[in-house]
Amino acid sequence: MIANPNSRHASVRTIALCFVVALLEGLDLQVTGLAAPGIGAEFKLSPAQMGWMFSAGLLGLLPGGFVGGRLADKIGRKMILVISVILFGVFSLASVYAWDYSSFLVARLMTGLGLGAALPVLILLSSEAFEEKHRSTAVSMTYCGVPLGGAFASLFGMLNLGYGWRSLFYIGGLLPIAVAVLLILWLPESRAFQKDALHRRQVGSIGQTAFSDLFRSEMWRSTVMLWLGFFFTITTLYLLLNWLPSLLMRQGVDRSHASIVQIFFNLGGAAGALLTGRLLDRIRPGIVVVLTYAGMLLSLAALGLSDSFTVMTVAGGLAGYCALGAQLVQYSLAPKLYSTYIRATGVGTALTIGRMGAVGGPLIAGAILAAGAGVGGVMLAASPGLVIAAATALILYEKKTAESEGAIPR
């Protein structure tokens, strides 16, 4: 991918370290869902309270994504990533020592702040490590760590490590702190950021970028469409990440079988995240967008309507493949829309908008279940948003393809 051996080595190291951090993110994002039965029993939580428990960490993602992106554009990708990883590690450990429902919510809120700041930087570092024609693949190689981390969380959840639900939070806290040390020692700063920062120092424009740059000239249309795509895609993804085991158990699936479906969901997600990036770099992106979102709608229907464990398992794997593939579609698209000096801000802001849906998704699912609509009602409610997300991604990818082919002047 890169001709210079030294550059290649730095790029491979960047992807490897970003993958490890994404793995930890995936683990931490799912530990609350896996630990939910034990937490709910210990703190005697209602379904509505459990919805807020799922959403507490997601609330922290909102300012985390925006602030992390802005700071990464101003002071560098590496420093912000290190701080973010330490933050979510420390507060994941703090979750272990929660003494009641309120203290647990605070710990998860602060964990989410660190997670929110880390993800846009991971996307930027992996995207900026390679040439344009390989960037979707690079992002996918990093992002597939998220579902794999979720699969590890599911495996840990099936083991009896001697500390009940708190075992998952011990793992989710100690590992990030250790990885932060590796980042300090081995992670190179983005060459694109260094080059752009040098140029801006030479012309005296350091610190003069603004949030309004996301809306300059015709850019506002792309920004708004990107926000819609992120919002509806992440809403559905986090609904599944947080509620899937509980939804399956409501359909009569026992806990061990629900865990198996969750593992297939995460393994399918890893494959979807990885293969979708390769496809985006190799064939016309619009075809990938249509297939990915159509598969997502089909799998949601199967999960909501079937009572067969075999069908649920296959649908879980397909849902994971398409949900993470759809997320990768959005993550690969976002860096392509913005110049280096505002790129982290653009990606971080889109993630923040998306996470508003992530916060609302679990709450909406809880409300639908409380109203008696059932699992099918939850799955049906996600469908219109997925159609909108597919349409906006299709428009933006087709526009970028036309630009690259010279049909539309840059």
Q: What is the pLDDT of residues 102-111, one digit of tens each?
A: 999 999 999 9
Count of CB atoms within 10 A of residue 16's CB?
14
Is a pLDDT exceeding 90 seen at residue 224? yes
Q: What is the pLDDT of residue 179?
A: 96
Of residues 163 and 68, more confidently modeled: 68
% of the chain exceeding 70 in pLDDT: 93
**pLDDT above 90 as % of the chain:** 34
Task: Point out the least confidently predicted range of 128-142, 364-378, 384-398.
Answer: 364-378
* pLDDT for residue 190 is more than 50: yes
Averaged pLDDT, 352-375: 76
pLDDT tens by residue, 229-285: 999 998 888 788 777 777 777 777 777 788 788 888 878 888 888 899 889 988 889
- Condensed to tens digits (0 to 9), the pLDDT of residues 134-159 reads 888 999 999 888 878 877 887 777 77
Q: What is the pTM of this model?
A: 0.80
pLDDT at 317 over 50: yes
Stretch among 153-157, 167-171, 213-217 having the lowest mean pLDDT:
153-157
pLDDT for the residue 212? 84
Burial of 4 (0-12, 13-18, 19+ CB in 10 A): exposed
CA gap 27, 148 in Å, rounded: 8
Chain centroid, CA 253 distance in Å: 27
Placement of tokens 């069908």 in the chain: 311
* pLDDT of 7: 72
The pLDDT score that the predictor gives to residue 52 is 83
Measured between alpha carbons, how far is residue 208 from residues 5, 71, 198, 220 in Å? 35, 13, 14, 19
User: Sorting pLDDT into bands at 50, 70 and 90, what band is 92?
Assistant: very high
The residue ranges of every structural domain in the chain are 5-404
Query: Which of 276-280, 362-366, 398-402 is most confident?
Result: 276-280
Query: Rounded to whole angstroms, how far apart are CA atoms 248 and 242?
Result: 12
pLDDT of residue 408: 46
For residue 58, pLDDT beyond 80 = no
Percent helix, strand and coil across the chain, each to the nearest 5: 85, 0, 15
59-77: average pLDDT: 88
Alpha carbon of 275 to those of 142, 234, 265, 288, 405: distances in Å? 12, 19, 15, 10, 24
Average pLDDT over residues 340-359: 88
Q: Is the dihedral of CA 220, 224, 225, 230 positive or negative?
A: positive
Q: What mean pLDDT is predicted for residues 27-35? A: 82
Check residue 283 and report its DSSP letter. S
Please give the average per-residue pLDDT across 29-42, as a whole number: 82
Q: Given this model, what pLDDT does residue 409 score?
A: 43
What backbone torsions phi and psi does residue 289 show, to the nearest 5 degrees? -60, -50
Q: What is the pLDDT of residue 331?
A: 92
Q: How confident is the model at residue 209 (pLDDT cuts 50, 70, 90)?
A: low
56-60, 343-347, 370-374, 395-399: the lowest-pLDDT one: 370-374
pLDDT, greater one: 87 or 254: 87
Residue found under tokens 């949900």: 323
Residue 228, pLDDT > 60, answer yes
Which of 139-143, 289-293, 340-344, 363-367 is predicted most confidently? 289-293
Q: What is the CATH superfamily name and number for domain 5-404?
A: MFS general substrate transporter like domains (1.20.1250.20)
Mean pLDDT, rounded, of the chain: 85
What does the alpha-carbon distance between residue 92 and residue 95 come to, in Å, rounded to a whole number?
5
Res 160: pLDDT: 63
Token readout for 103 is: 């203290």
Q: Which of 89-93, 209-213, 214-218 has the highest mean pLDDT?
A: 89-93
In this model, does residue 74 exceed pLDDT 90?
no
